[in-house]
Chains A and B, each alone.
Chain A
Amino acid sequence: MPQDVSALQLVLSGDPALFAIVRLSVVVSLSATIGAAVIGLPFGALVALTRFPGRELVVVVMNALMGLPPVVVGLAVYLMLSRSGPLGSWGLLFTPQAMVIAQTILIAPIIAALARQTIEDLWVEYRDELAAMDVGPAGRVATLIWDARFSLLTALLAGFGRAAAEVGAVIIVGGNIDGFTRTMTTAIALETSKGDLPLAMGLGMVLIAIVVLVNAAAWGARRAGERLAQ
């Protein structure tokens, strides 16, 4: 199949246009993962370790938001950042920053919900022992996050995987501008509709390779954790 060969050649020859798209995709998704971790991990820990009225509702909403449709997030961020929107003066629409914002909103609930579950499960296990050792609140949080670090890393990788693979949000707020806001997923959609299948397939191969690498890293982290846990 000549098209396969062309796609493979594009990847193997290090085509600059292709790798610029790959680089932007990775940078945007990585930035979104860091942003979502900064928001999601403390929020998940807070919900795991505190009791307050309406907590059950927060947990249900947080879990439900894991399935947030990317296009809806994209639309909401578009409305916020558009010229007539409340944050229109920032001038961020159709920039990589807008894409980072949209992906951060998309994956923060995933990281928060997984962190909440992980930390709460460990807290149930550790509660009596930490109380008996008279460990204070800050020490408890530090202990739980440290001992759950491999599971929490898996949560971050799950967030990254979701961000890297989504197309709906970034195409709305980024605009798929060539050389500026074009990511792997938006380029695949565009090139496929244009009929440039070799580039679309090349990008698809790289995207799948990245997703496989992310999952391999998650698997490795989990195994490393199991060596010290059960």
Chain B
Amino acid sequence: MTMRAPITDVPIVLDAVSLAVRNVTILDNISLSLAAGAPTVLIGPNGAGKTTLLRLAMGLVAPTRGRVTRGGRSDTPPTRRAIVFQRPVMLRRSAGANLRYALKAAGVPRADRQKRVEELLALVGLAGLAPRAARKLSGGEQQRLALARALAKDPQVLFLDEPTASLDPAATKSVEDVIRAVAARGIKVVMSTHDLGEAKRIAGEIVLMHRGRIVEIADAATFFGNPATPEARRFVAGELLV
């Protein structure tokens, strides 16, 4: 008797991937492997292509050239990967109903949903807020609810697009705590940020992007301690990369 290996989304491999929209190149010949392990953080200035790279790896957009495989396959449905957008949109429902909706979409049986809602809310520090209208929560609370909603499908890979942009330090810390807790559970986190400090606090691996290309890939200690490229040196030194 043979057993089929469970479908896995990792590693996500981008092989010479490019994306152009109306002749404007947004991603240019990107090759990158996102393997299980510590969080990968994409850094780079606005317009570097970080968001597009996340959406492409998630499977929301297709490359115009090159190939994306997940776990060695090119046709995996997005059942084991999730994304939190930079400005997550809450459904016009309560916080609990937002999570129940995501659990239903993920195929979680109805009988298990309420228990999972409570677990997810506790995980992101929003226990007791289930009946509140999701859109009336604060920015930080909405961001954490979006994280909980993304975790509803029990993903192997979690993409986060600038998850703390426009949050104050206290809200940033609470979101980063959740990200660390998620990564500690063995979920591969791939996130983008502008914030060098945040990259230092979260990253196991850094991918520096500039003008649609990958400039440097290195583990975080190497990247911050001994950046290899002039762009990385300038970025780490806090100079503007334009």
Contacts and interface: CB of A to CB of B under 8 A. Distances in A.
B176 to A, nearest CB: 22
Interface stretch (A3-11, A52-60, A126-134): A126-134
Contacts of B93: 147, 228
B88 A129 contact: yes
Interface string A186-230: 000000000000000000000000000000000000000101111
B105 A133 contact: yes
Contacts of B31: none
A143 B93 CA distance: 11
B92 A228 contact: yes
Contact of A132 (B60, B77, B101): B60
A129 B136 CA distance: 18
B78 interface: yes
Given A228-B133, A229-B133, A128 B85 contact: yes
B135 A229 contact: yes
Interface string A128-155: 1101111100010001000100000000
Contacts of B133: 227-229
Contact of A147 (B83, B92, B106): B92
A125 B79 CA distance: 22
Nearest to A225: B92
Task: Classify the secondary structure of A's interface with B.
Answer: helix
A95 B85 CA distance: 57
A132 B82 contact: yes
A125 B58 CA distance: 19
B105 A139 contact: yes
Nearest to B135: A230
Nearest to A133: B105
A125 B89 CA distance: 7
Nearest to A131: B60
B201 to A, nearest CB: 25
Contacts of B150: 132
A126 B83 contact: no
A126 B92 CA distance: 10
Interface in B94-145: 94, 101-102, 105-106, 133, 135-136
Contacts of A125: 89
B165 interface: no
Most buried by A among B60, B77, B101, B102: B101
B65 to A, nearest CB: 22
Contacts of B82: 132
Interface string B4-45: 000000000000000000000000000000000000000000
Nearest to B85: A128
A129 B91 CA distance: 9
B153 to A, nearest CB: 8
B92 A135 contact: no
B77 A134 contact: yes
A126 B88 CA distance: 9
Interface string A4-47: 00000000000000000000000000000000000000000000
Contacts of A230: 135-136
Interface string A142-177: 010001000000000000000000000000000000
B94 A228 contact: yes
Nearest to B58: A132
Most buried by A among B92, B135, B136: B92
Nearest to B150: A132
Interface of A: 125-126, 128-129, 131-135, 139, 143, 147, 225, 227-230
Given A128-B89, A132-B85, A147-B91, 15 more contacts: A128-B85, A131-B60, A132-B58, A132-B78, A132-B150, A134-B77, A134-B78, A134-B79, A135-B105, A139-B105, A147-B92, A147-B93, A228-B94, A228-B133, A230-B136
17 contacts: A128-B89, A129-B85, A131-B60, A132-B58, A132-B78, A133-B101, A133-B105, A139-B105, A143-B91, A147-B92, A227-B133, A228-B94, A228-B133, A228-B135, A229-B133, A230-B135, A230-B136
Closest 6 CB pairs of A and B: A229-B92, A133-B105, A147-B92, A132-B83, A230-B135, A228-B133
